[in-house]
Structures are given as C-alpha cells and as structure tokens.
Structure 1
Amino acid sequence: MTETLSPAEVPEFPGVRAASCPFDPPPALHALQREGPLVRVRLWDGSTPWLVTRYTEQRALLADRRVSADITRPGYPSPAPVRGGPLSFILMDDPEHARLRRMVQAAFTVRRTETMRPAIQRIVDDLIDAMLAGPKPVDLVEAFALPVPSLVICELLGVPYADHDFFQDNSRTIIRRGAPPEERFAAGRRLTDYLDGLVAEKLRNPGDDLLSKVAARVAEGELTRQEAAGMGVLLLVAGHETTANMIALGTLALLRNPGQLALLRESDDPTLVAGAAEELLRYLNITHSGRRRVALEDIEIAGQVIRAGEGMIMANDLGNRDPEVFPDPDELDIRRDARRHVAFGFGVHQCLGQPLARVELQVVYSTLYRRIPTLSLATDLDRIPFKHDGQVYGVYELPVTW
C-alpha cells in the first residue's frame, strides 16, 4: 500500500516533463495515474499529500464542502514557502471567499465579457498589423501573446498600460517555482503597494473601470484598502499571465500539429473556433501545479480515506488526460467536445475570469493564423525555452516568421 512507503520512497511532485513531449504531463505522473485515483506524493518540504489523478475524483473533491482552499490551515500542501502578506480570496473558504468574489464577479459574466469582443478584436488586429509591418523573425510572446491580455486587463481594471513592464516582471517572480521566498514576497509587496496607490487614486478620481468599483467598496466600508489591493493584484496577475501563456503555447501546439492548424485556419465556423479553444485548454494545462486543498473532515473516496488535516493536490493536467473521460487524451483534436475539462477548476473556486479568457482565446485563434497563414517556427523545438520552473506553464520566447 502507498501509505506504508517511507517519505523517501514516495515520488516527488510536480515531476519533470519529457523534453520530447513538452505538451504532456511528466511521464512519472502518467504512471501514477495508472496506479490509482489517489496516490501519495512528496513535496519540497517533505510532506506527503494525496495526489488525485483522475477526473471523477477531482471534480467530486473540488465540489466537496469538507475540502478547504485555505492556505493557512495545517496540512495545506503549499507549492512553496509562504510568508505573511495579503491573502487572495482564491485561498479562502466561504463565506469570506464568496463575499469578496461577489464584489468583482459582475465584470466577468459571459454577457459582460461578450461586450468586450469588438475591443479585443481591435487589439488583436492592431498587434498583428504591427507585427506584419516590422522585421522578422519576431518573438510572438513579446510582440503578441503578452500584450493582448495585458492590454485587455489594463483596460478592464483601469491600470496604466505604461506600467506593464513593472507588473509583468513582478508577476513572473511571484509564479516562478524556484524563486526564493524573499524574492517572491518582495515582488508581491511591490505589486500590492502599486495597486494600493492605484486604489487611492481611484478613491480621489473614480472612473468607469473595475478598480474604481473596488475602491468604491472601500469608501463604503465593505473592503479594507489591503483587501482591495490584494484583489487588484490577483486580477492583474491572473488576468494576463495565464492567457498570455495559452496564446503562445497554443500557437506552438498548433504549429506542431499542422493538420489541426489547417482545420482551424480554414474554418469560419465560430463553433469550431470555440471548440478549439476548449481542446487547447484541456490539452495544454498551463496551470500545471494542481489545485491545492486540505481535508476538514475524514473523507472516504475511491476506496480510500483522506483524513482530516491531510493535503490534496488535484492534478488537472492528469484529469484532463483521463482516458475514461477523453478518449485518446494525448491527441490534440480540435473537433473533440472538451467542454468538461478542468483547466479552470471546478466548484465554488473555479476560475472567475474564464469567460474573459475564452473570448480572448477565441479571438486570437480565429484571427492570427488566418491573417498570417504562413506563420511558422523560426527555430527548432529543442531550442525553445519552456517554463518548467513556473507555476504557470508556457514558453519564455517563441520565435516565428512567415
């Protein structure tokens, strides 16, 4: 039995991806999935939480009220050393999580984000125009993948895009797995101070943006300045890092699967485009450190008892490659119905910004390859620097030409 293993015998998490298969989960994790739906893994601090490897058990546990997302609880399987500072509401439980989430969720409804589609289309077209008018090859990350969501989230929040280098540099530090705790804490502090200053400015001069609405909650006594700044940091970092990596990594995956790219490029069917976005989200799993939780009570599942106080990691990359749910899961197939994927999580903590991310990805995937039909890699796959050291997976650079 797994529980009889000594800590040294328990496999390490998150594991290492195979250089020849950079889009796939680490081979060792695939082996653990075959072993069973719940297996022990060893983290950086020597703790041995449960790794939940299969789709059905992941969804059940993510929806279970006996499971906590509170990072301050004993047994929580933190991905890195934790220091004090403002706590994001995604790392809280209800009712406090729900109270804070409700204050911003109206900005991310499907209806609201659909109204942003024309503006996102203009951003995408303008950036492609600039690429086509400039020299080549070009780094798609710097010229396109990062500016698209950064411009969108800056516009939504009311953050000056002129400051994008500052918040992008600090957000990279926060989500880098190997960054020393002091560096990550300092980066978080700089971003928090920056957002606190913006909240103060919105209190003095409110505008028609989300951060002004958050500042209004401060003025009404519903939020503290610290809570408002922490909320701003979460929305700013999550609003550009994840989508930027999906744009670049999705493009690379399609370039490596030319048949799938041709299907997408040659179709004017919005349903196919939307399906392609969902399939790429399933296939790539850029949030590859898993959803972290801790049990509040004993939970019996899949023939195993997770004891109160034991940590859990829902490996969404494995859940989305579960052959019981997605036949031939290691194949990229944009015609697949992948809408049930867990790339955005599940339950009350599922990603707040998923409607906005979907619109951005649909606009990008329906526009970039059609406007630049000869888009191709300008280097070999083994020379592309992947973000193996990041809590958000992607590529640091993607040289392309046409």
Structure 2
Amino acid sequence: MTTPQQSPALDPEESPGTGAAPESAAPDRDFPMRRGCPFAAPAEYAALRTDDPVARVTLPTKKEAWVVTRYDDVRELLSDPRISADIRRPNFPALGEGEQEAGAKFRPFIRTDAPEHTKYRRMLLPVFTVRRVRAMRPAVQARVDEILDGLLAAGGPVDLVPAYANAVSTSVICELLGIPGENLEFFRDVTRISGSRHSTAAQVSEALGGLFGLLAEVVAARRREPRDDLISKLVTEHLVTGEVTTEQLLSTLAITINAGRETTTSMIALSTYLLLDRPELLEELRADPSLMPAAVDEFLRVLSVADSIPLRVAAEDIDLSGRTVPADDGVIALLAGANHDPEQFDDPERVDFHRTDNHHVAFGYGVHQCVGQHLARLELEAALETLIRRVPTLRLAGSGNDVTVKHDSATFGLDELKVTW
C-alpha cells in the first residue's frame, strides 16, 4: 500500500481544547491536511475531533476559516439555514487560487443558495430519481461491458484510471446528457485543471470555457432538433420557456458533468485499489456478489473522496460543540472527519460490508446533498462487480508504491493505477 508523506498529527496535550483558546487567536495549523493512507482520513482529523472539533485553520489562499470534524456537527452545519454556499461571499473558503474567481464568473449551482439553488436542483431531480436510475441499469451495464471488452482485448498492463474508471463515469454522464463522448480525456483534462488547487483563475476559465463551448453547440443543436436526452429535456422545458438563460443552463450542465464524472472516477479507481490491497475483501465480494450494494456504501464512507467539497460561509453566528463560528467566516464541513467518527461508526477504520445503519455523509447532507447519488451508486456497483467477475486474476502491475495519489485536487483520488491480469 502506498504511504504518501504524512503531516504530523496533533499532539493531544498541545492541541487547544474546545474553547481553550480565544477565537481571535491566530490559527496554528494549515488546511488542507494530507492523507497518510489513501484509504483513511488524514490522521489529524482524529485529534481535531477530540480536542478541537471546530478548529480555525489557514487556507492555501492565506484566508482563515473553520473546519468541522464531528459527525453530528457536520450534519447540523450542513442543514442549518444560516449557512451559505454562495461562492461570491468575500470569505468563501476556496482552497484553490483561481477557484473563487472562476466560480463567481460561471456560477455553478452547487455554489449558490436558495431560491437560485432550488430552481436548478428541481430541474435535475426528476432525472435522478431512484426509479429513473433503476431503469438505466441495463444501459449502464452494457456500457461497462463494452469498455471492459476493449480493455481486455488490448491486454495489460494498463492504467485503470483513464482506461476504465474515467471511461465508465464520463461515457455514462455523456450518454445521459446527450453529449458526444468520443474524446473522454477532454473531460478529464477540464476537471483536472478546474479542480486543481494550483490552477490560476485564467487557467480555470480557459478550461471551463472549452467545456462551455462544446455544450453551447449541443444546446443549440437540441434547440433545433430535440432528442431523447437530458439536454433536450432541459432545453424544451426550461430554456425555451424562459425559466433559465443559455448561460445558466450551460453552467448547470458543466457542473453536472464535472462533479458527476470526477467523483465517480475517483471512487471506481480507489475502491479497486483498496480491494487489490486487501485481498480478503476481494474474496468476500467474489464469494457473495449480493454484498456489492453494501460494499459500495462502505467504500463511499471509508474513502470519502469529496471530503472538503462542502465549503460554506456563516451568514449568522453559529454555535457548534461549544465554539461560535462568527457571521461571515468561512467554514468547511469535513465529510471524511464525519465518516470516520467513532461516536457514529463502530471501529470506523475497518472496512465492513455488513455494517448496519451506515448513514454516511459521503454525498453531503442537507439541501445541497448530491443530486446524482443514485446514479453514482449504480455506476460504482456495475463497474466494480463487472471488473471483479470478469477479471479474476486482476492485480497491481508493480508495487503499491507505484500508485500515484492526487493530494491537491478538489476530489481525492488516484492519478494512476497500473494493473494487469
């Protein structure tokens, strides 16, 4: 198993206890914190939950913000009407250099508040219901089989991230929307640049501009000649009626693609790596494939690839675990912190496919909870089950130390996972 360089854990005797330090004191730690193991939250989160569950940190932008690590606090914060997701607020806790500027320009709906956020969410919800997603299973399975056929025909070794994980997630969302999916690496590049914490505002704008250009062509074509796809539905029911502008529709489509494909790509690759690293789990799934839905939920909890996606600003003073987050301060609800909280999950570091009441927050919580979570589960189940069943000799091509981990992206995951069979 790869062990990227790990930041030193907090010393419980030196860490400020809840309320032990004045809230005006300068933060004594930086954020984000790196994972020491790709299958677990950063080691510092455990100490924070115990000693400083609502902690002040310094971000890469040099802004200060709060991070929240306890399960109950994360759920309370994300369901509090006094919390704002509006990226235009001055103290929005963006983690990348160009993130806030580009977000304020393109206005992704996940970075907006009601009633704006509500309008766009209601546009998408009918497509992502449990019933609609179930009906998509045969088409998703056929696409997964087709991609794996090509992979096996080409032979190993192969980098599973672009050749399988990205191919599955990107082609499924492209087919759903009705977008040409021939150049799968184009969409991966857009997300790689727009999601990197090192990209400038100009670089993010250029990458997203290319995506907007492609989407604008498809929207114009569907306006002339609608088809049986999501873009056609949104064009005829919301654009033509004047409910949204073309720019608003393009922004909604862009974030649906970016957020949907990147998180699923990361989960497919990282879950596969976890199974190869722990063969007893792999054998358990092979022996009982009916465990796959529960396994996917456990992977979602343990891996928590969208850990720091819930970036917020307090619109009013908010009290959590004896601390007050002042109005206008940035605050980050750490999903991996919540999903590894021993107060909620017994032995949280253990991967347990028989865990009951697995009420994880891997998809967020509250009004901004991921609208596409049912589709994500379907893709993960199909991609992992098919790979396990059809490639019984799957193994790493090299050692775990050869696996490349993404530490500086909005979504945690792998840059490269070389496998063979």
Normalising by the smaller structure, the TM-score range is over 0.9
1:176, CA displacement in angstroms?
1.2
Is 1:24 aligned with 2:40?
yes
Please give the secondary structure, in 2, of the residue aligned with 1:182. Answer: helix
Which of 269, 272, 276 is equivalent to 1:255?
Answer: 276
Which of 241, 254, 258 is equivalent to 1:233?
Answer: 254
1:283, CA displacement in angstroms?
0.6
**Superposition map of 1:223-372 within 5 A:** 223-269=244-290, 272-337=291-356, 339-372=358-391
Is 1:380 aligned with 2:396?
no
Please give the secondary structure, in 2, of the residue aligned with 1:10. Answer: coil
Aligned partners of 2:129, 2:22: CA distance in 1, in Å? 43
Is 1:53 aligned with 2:66?
no
Q: Residues 373 and 338 from structure 1, CA distance in 2 versus in 1: closer, same or farther, beyond 3 angstroms?
A: farther
Aligned partners of 1:104, 1:377: CA distance in 2, in Å? 38
* Runs (5+) with no aligned partner, structure 2: 1-19
- Structure 1 window deviating more from structure 2 (251-260 vs 293-302): it is 293-302
Could you tell me whether the CA contact under 8 Å between 1:37 and 1:54 is conserved in 2?
yes
Q: Which residue of 2 aligns with 1:37?
A: 53
Aligned partners of 1:13, 1:338: CA distance in 2, in Å? 31
Could you tell me whether the CA contact under 8 Å between 1:290 and 1:317 is conserved in 2?
no
Aligned partners of 2:273, 2:128: CA distance in 1, in Å? 28
- Structure 1 window deviating more from structure 2 (58-67 vs 338-347): it is 338-347
User: What is the CA deviation profile of residues 321-372 of structure 1, one whole-angstrom value per residue up to 9, with x for unaligned ones?
Assistant: 0011111111212222363111100001000110000111111222211211
Q: Which residue of 2 aligns with 1:109?
A: 129
Provide the TM-score with structure 1 as the length reference.
0.95
Which of 9, 29, 38 is equivalent to 1:11?
Answer: 29
Could you tell me whether the CA contact under 8 Å between 2:170 and 2:187 is conserved in 1?
no
Aligned partners of 1:144, 1:66: CA distance in 2, in Å? 41
Please give the secondary structure, in 1, of the residue aligned with 2:96. Answer: coil
Could you tell me whether the CA contact under 8 Å between 2:309 and 2:410 is conserved in 1?
no
1:27, CA displacement in angstroms?
2.0
| Aligned length, in residue pairs | 397
Please give the secondary structure, in 2, of the residue aligned with 1:104. Answer: helix
Q: Residues 401 and 338 from structure 1, CA distance in 2 versus in 1: closer, same or farther, beyond 3 angstroms?
A: farther
1:6, CA displacement in angstroms?
4.5
Aligned partners of 2:48, 2:319: CA distance in 1, in Å? 20
Q: Which residue of 2 aligns with 1:205?
A: 225
* Runs (5+) with no aligned partner, structure 1: none
Aligned residues: CA RMSD: 1.5
Could you tell me whether the CA contact under 8 Å between 1:279 and 1:337 is conserved in 2?
no
Which of 89, 99, 102 is equivalent to 1:73?
Answer: 89
Please give the secondary structure, in 2, of the residue aligned with 1:85. Answer: helix
Please give the secondary structure, in 2, of the residue aligned with 1:116. Answer: helix
> Identity over the aligned pairs, expressed in percent?
42
Q: Which residue of 1 aligns with 2:169?
A: 149
Aligned partners of 2:274, 2:397: CA distance in 1, in Å? 14
The one-letter amino acid paired with 1:348 is V
Q: Residues 193 and 338 from structure 1, CA distance in 2 versus in 1: closer, same or farther, beyond 3 angstroms?
A: farther
Aligned partners of 1:61, 1:50: CA distance in 2, in Å? 12
Could you tell me whether the CA contact under 8 Å between 1:80 and 1:181 is conserved in 2?
no
Could you tell me whether the CA contact under 8 Å between 1:192 and 1:229 is conserved in 2?
yes
Could you tell me whether the CA contact under 8 Å between 2:61 and 2:95 is conserved in 1?
no
Could you tell me whether the CA contact under 8 Å between 2:363 and 2:370 is conserved in 1?
yes
Which of 92, 107, 113 is equivalent to 1:93?
Answer: 113
Please give the secondary structure, in 2, of the residue aligned with 1:395. Answer: strand
- Structure 1 window deviating more from structure 2 (347-356 vs 167-176): it is 167-176
Please give the secondary structure, in 1, of the residue aligned with 2:151. Answer: helix
Could you tell me whether the CA contact under 8 Å between 2:307 and 2:336 is conserved in 1?
yes
Aligned partners of 1:109, 1:178: CA distance in 2, in Å? 36
1:223, CA displacement in angstroms?
0.6
Please give the secondary structure, in 1, of the residue aligned with 2:81. Answer: coil
